[in-house]
Each structure stands twice: as C-alpha cells, then as structure tokens.
Amino acid sequence: MTAAAKTQDRRKDLGETLEALKEHRQQTLMAYCNLTGVSSPEQSDSGVTKDIAPVALGEFLNVMVDYIAMGHFTVYQRIIEGKERRGAVQDAADRVYPSIGETTDIMVEFNDKYENFDGSEEDQAALREDISRLGEMLAIRGDLEDEILQALLS
C-alpha cells in the first residue's frame, strides 16, 4: 500500500471515529432530555420537578458512560499519546482538553453517586440539583469537543 493510500485510510478511519463520537454525544443528549423532560440541555436550568425512575436513570448513565469512554479511548487518547502531530490539533487540545477533563470528572462523579439510585425522596431532591448541573456540563463539553473535532477535520 502506498503512503498516500495509507494516509487516505487513516483519514477515513478518523472521520468515521469522529462521526461515531458525535453520534454518542447526540444519544447522550437525547437520553438526558428524555430523562429530564426538557427539549434541550440548555433548558435544564428551569429545574427538574418530576421524579425520575431508577431504571430510567440507570439507562441514561449507561449511555453517558459509553459516550465518555468513546471520547477518551478513541479521540483524546490518540492526542495524549502524541499520535496526532498536527499543530492545529495540538493547539486546540492544549486549550480545551483541561476543561474537557473537568467535565469528565463531573460526569464520572455523577455516575458514581447515582449508579445505585433507589428513587427515595432524599435521592430525588439531590438528583434534581445535580442533574441540572450535569446538563450544563454536557452542553459545555459539546462545545469544547467541537473545537477539537474541527481541528481534527481541518
């Protein structure tokens, strides 16, 4: 295989990976909106007033964790390991990856806190507060990811 063909294959693979990441993000946002009863994460600051079923929350957590893992192990790991040498990608990663890391931490903490959610009144009250903040983090993370994805596609 020629060098040009290898480059073309790598770009095709990268494009497919980035599309898969965007699809995982969209699935997570849709699951969040379905869970909270809002039409977009930006509306989540109005507060969640309905109780959330433990099964529904568990399903959302699974989707969210898959999304986190997809980003980390397919896109960000490549950058962290130095496999991506383009300056624009490195610049974007240096600028936004620390903030992406913060959103990851918040999402993982949310998962850990609610993975054994039982739906009690006390848990529902805490969840209403925490899920609003999670919606904000999902929106922020999407904007940050878009900066890296744009650099990767350039």
| Domain assignment of residue 78, yes or no | yes
| Domain assignment present for 41 | no
CB-based contact 32:60 (threshold 8 Å): yes
The pLDDT of residue 42: 54
Q: Is residue 147 part of a domain?
A: yes
> Does a structural domain hold residue 133?
yes
- State the pLDDT at residue 21: 94
Any idea what DSSP says for residue 141?
Answer: H
Is 43 inside a domain boundary?
no
In a domain, 4, yes or no: no
- Tell me the C-alpha distance between 116 and 106, whole Å: 17
Is 31 part of a structural domain of the chain?
A: yes
Q: Which residues of the chain have pLDDT under 70?
A: 1, 3-11, 39-49
Cα–Cα distances (Å) from 39 to 56, 118, 145, in that order, read 17, 25, 21
d(CA 125, CA 34): 19
- Whether 115 maps to a domain, the answer reads yes
- Domain residue limits at 61: 11-36+50-153
Q: What is the pLDDT of residue 6?
A: 61
Domain count, the chain: 1
**What's the N-to-C CA distance of the chain in angstroms?**
24
CATH of the domain at 112: 1.20.120
pLDDT score at 46 = 47
Give pLDDT, residue 80.
80
Distance CA 56, CA 53 (A): 5
